[in-house]
């Protein structure tokens, strides 16, 4: 057999991008606790912790009294648009839908994806020691194959979240957050992004 003109290429890559927005984190943290004290918990992927109702960028009056949250929304929209342009994906950000998660010790987020969202973003506002990793999984059937030498490394990305960092990735990817083992709250703000 001749191996001339061999094509050797990895296919269907996903991506994860991150940045650190310039924002007053202590003021934003105060706003997240104000939201927790104002709005009831919503049952979603969060197990044991607080999950706020969702807000949408198309109804800014819903969160206009939260100045720093509004600034974060603008930063997420801007960063998402930059990533689309830099990856030659095209399109314009149409809407951001977002909510707050506050997890205490032993709280976690079950494995899930964000349905029909084009992109998702997670901003880690408070990350105490031992508060659990953010784990992203491939969901293209690779779990059923033994083709990968470093199988676990090829099938999941295990990130120790960094306080103040925003992570952006495709919305179809399955992910979860491990149970917190810390005695302080882990606080994050999650976004569904439509283009």
Burial, 53: exposed, middle or buried (Cβ in 10 Å; 0-12, 13-18, 19+)? Answer: middle
What is the Cα–Cα distance from 194 to 116, expressed in whole angstroms? 8
Whether the per-residue pLDDT at 143 is higher than 80: the answer is no
Question: Tokens 């600034």 sit at which residue?
Answer: 71
pLDDT tens per residue across span 103-139? 998 988 888 888 889 999 999 999 999 999 999 987 7
Q: What is the DSSP string of 64-113?
A: TT-HHHHHHHHHHHHHHHHHHHHTT------EEEEEEEEE-TT-EEEEE-
Domain residue extents for the chain: 18-194
Q: What is the pLDDT of residue 45?
A: 79
Closest CA to 49 of 97, 9, 121, 109: 109
Q: What pTM does this model have?
A: 0.89
Mean pLDDT, the chain, whole residue set: 88
- Averaging pLDDT over each range in 39-48, 120-129, 148-157, which range is the top one? 120-129
| Ramachandran region, residue 159 (left: φ > 0; alpha: ψ -120 to 50; beta: rest) | beta
Q: What phi, psi does 189 have (nearest 5°)?
A: -125, 125
Q: May I ask the CATH architecture of the domain 18-194?
A: Sandwich (2.60)
What is the Cα–Cα distance from 143 to 152, expressed in whole angstroms? 9
């Amino acid at each position: 057999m001749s191996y001339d003109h061999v094509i050797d290429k990895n296919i269907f890559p996903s991506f994860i991008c991150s940045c650190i927005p310039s924002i007053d984190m202590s003021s934003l943290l105060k706003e997240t606790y104000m939201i927790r004290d104002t709005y009831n918990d919503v049952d979603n992927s969060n197990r044991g912790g607080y999950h706020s109702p969702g807000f949408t960028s198309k109804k800014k009056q819903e969160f206009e009294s939260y100045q720093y949250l509004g600034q974060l929304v603008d930063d997420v929209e801007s960063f998402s648009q930059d990533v689309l342009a830099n990856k030659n994906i095209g399109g314009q950000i149409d809407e951001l839908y977002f909510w707050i998660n506050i997890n205490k010790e032993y709280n976690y987020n079950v494995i899930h994806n964000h349905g029909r969202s084009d992109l998702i973003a997670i901003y880690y506002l408070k990350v105490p020691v031992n508060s659990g990793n953010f784990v992203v999984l491939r969901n293209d059937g690779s779990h059923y194959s033994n083709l990968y030498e470093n199988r676990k490394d090829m099938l999941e990305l295990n990130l120790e979240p960094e306080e103040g960092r925003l992570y952006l990735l495709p919305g179809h990817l399955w992910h979860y957050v491990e149970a917190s083992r810390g005695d302080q709250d882990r606080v994050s703000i999650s976004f569904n992004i439509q283009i």
